[in-house]
Amino acid sequence: MISNTLLICKASHRLPSIVIIGLLFLVTAFNGAVADTYKKPIRVLIVGGGSSHDFDRWYKKVDTQTLEKRKFSEVRYTDNTDSIAHYLQDTDVLYLTNNQPIPNKEARKAIFEFARQGKGIVLGHAALWYNWQDWPEYNQKLVSGGSRGHDPYGKFQVNIVDSKHPLTRKIKSFSLEDELYYFKSDASGPGIKVLAEAVNPEKGERFPSVFIINHPEARIAAIALGHDGAAHELKAYQRLLRNAVSWAAASQ
Ligand SMILES: [Zn+2]
């Protein structure tokens, strides 16, 4: 900006003032547009609430801090599922973490419409469960599967199996204490691409832990980790979450 302004000042004795004003306006507008592209925070809506988890502590507080660091995102959190349709109007990435029901038909419709528009969705931990018998489309079409069980809370390894994908790039395999979800892909859904696997320490069984869903329109990322602070306060988890939101938002 300074060098551009100096350049214009140096040339000013040869140019009419109207041209100089015009040039200054163009330079300012161009710089503003570039700044917006890089600095505009991603608008994230976190939906939490339900059983077995401290949603307020780990999602509303800690994940929000993780996502808002260095103005990467602007987060709104709700556990009122009736408000989803309202908030989605100005949301870039919907981050579903809840295992409470979403009974509101407008909210269900708004989530599917959001996906149809090619927006970004991140599914965290409890949102990858088979939570709702009266809403099979959620698991089949958005999640392409789900979990019906998990190992007892304990330590296990998460192996990065695709280190080239933007979600997992520069993240090394790690171990943590969490619930190892038995996520199974549904063959009747759009399918998934596994980026990291959780490995059961006794039997060596492997389950998708970080993956993307091959949805025809939306960019949907899933992180099966996240039962409590052992995940949410872990650097690797925090990087995965920010990467997932960043990747999902690229559809904007
Ligand atoms: Zn859990």
Among residues 132, 43, 49, 156, which one has the least CA distance to residue 98?
49
- What are 198-247's pLDDT values in tens digits? 999 999 999 999 999 999 999 999 999 999 999 999 999 999 999 999 99
- Kindly give the distance from the C-alpha atom of residue 99 to the centroid of ligand 1, in angstroms, as a whole number: 10
pLDDT at 4 over 70: no
Separation of CA 4 and ligand 1 centre (Å): 55
**Gap between the Cα atoms of 135 and 102, Å rounded:** 9
Q: How far is the CA of 52 from the centre of ligand 1 (A)?
A: 6
Q: What is the token pair recorded at 56?
A: 């307020």
CA dist., res. 194 & res. 88, Å (int):
27
Q: Quote the ligand 1 centre to 80 CA distance (angstroms).
A: 20
Ligand 1 mean position, distance from CA 218 (Å):
26
**34 CA to centre of ligand 1 in angstroms:** 41
User: Residue 73 belongs to what H/E stretch?
Assistant: strand 73-78
Residues with CB in 5 Å of ion ligand 1: 179, 227
The pLDDT score that the predictor gives to residue 16 is 55
> If you write DSSP's letter for every residue of 198-231 in order, what string do you get?
EE-TTT--EEEEEEEE--SSSEEEEE---SSHHH
> How many angstroms does the Cα of residue 13 sit away from the middle of ligand 1?
70
Residue 163, CB half-sphere, CA atoms under 13 Å: how many?
A: 7
8 Å CB contact between 247 and 166: yes
Q: What is the pLDDT of residues 10-31, one digit of tens each?
A: 444 454 555 444 444 444 444 4
pLDDT digits (tens, 9 = 90+) for 48-102: 999 999 999 999 999 999 999 999 999 999 999 999 999 999 999 999 999 999 9
pLDDT band at 251 (very low <50, low <70, confident <90, very high): low
| Residue 244, burial from CB neighbour count under 10 angstroms (0-12, 13-18, 19+) | buried
Q: Where are the alpha helices (DSSP H) in the chain?
A: 2-10, 17-39, 55, 64-68, 84-88, 105-116, 136-137, 229-232, 235-249
d(CA 53, ligand 1 centre) in Å: 6
Residue 252's pLDDT band (cuts 50, 70, 90):
very low
Instruction: Measure the CA–CA gap between 163 and 180, rounded to whole angstroms.
Output: 21
Dist. CA 219 → ligand 1 center (Å): 24
Check residue 219 and give its pLDDT: 98
Q: Return d(Cα 218, Cα 212) in angstroms, integer.
A: 10
Taking only the tens place, the pLDDT of each residue in 100-158 is: 999 999 999 999 999 999 999 999 999 999 999 999 999 999 999 999 999 999 999 99
DSSP per position, 122-140: EEEGGGGB---TT-HHIII
By residue count, the chain amounts to 252
CATH of domain 42-249: 3.40.50.880
The token pair at 169 is 């790039």
227 Cα to the center of ligand 1, angstroms: 4
Bridge-based pairing of strands 42-47 and 145-150 is: unpaired
Domain boundaries, the chain: 2-36, 42-249
**Ligand 1 centroid, distance to 150 Cα (angstroms):** 9
